[in-house]
Amino acid sequence: MVEIACDRKGTHSLQALIALVSRDSEEQLLKDTLQDHIVELSFDPQGTHLIQKLIVSISNENIGFIFEPLADRFVEVANHSFGLCVVNSLKWLWKIFNPIVVETINNKD
């Protein structure tokens, strides 16, 4: 799935599928498949769009598998042009966990 996510046409197809996800079991499948590749996809010009689609589509209860690897490598992700787009997509969540992070993001804009 990661290879498809990094393909220009593939990412559009996966984003369309993600928009249809509505069950916990479907979200779990996405988590199991993508959780080790969140940062990698955030740095990819096509993969970043998939991660951003996940952020708006996945339930708040299950968003941790996206948030945690990004938080662990926050400085690296925030300093990458595509990674910063993902960080900005999660701004609402960063505000909850660390206001200093939000200030850093705002200073990058």
How confident is the model over 23-35, as pLDDT tens digits?
Answer: 999 999 999 999 9
Cβ atoms of 49 and 15 closer than 8 Å: yes
CA-CA-CA-CA dihedral for 28, 32, 35, 36, to nearest 10:
180
> Global pTM?
0.81
More confident residue, 93 or 6: 6
- Could you read off the pLDDT of 33-88 as tens digits, one per residue? 999 999 999 999 999 999 999 999 988 888 889 988 998 898 899 999 999 999 88
Q: Which token pair is 23?
A: 């069950």
Domain count of the fold of the chain: 1
Phi, psi angles (nearest 5°) of residue 54: -60, -45
Structural domain range at position 80: 2-108
Query: For residue 102, is pLDDT > 60?
Result: no
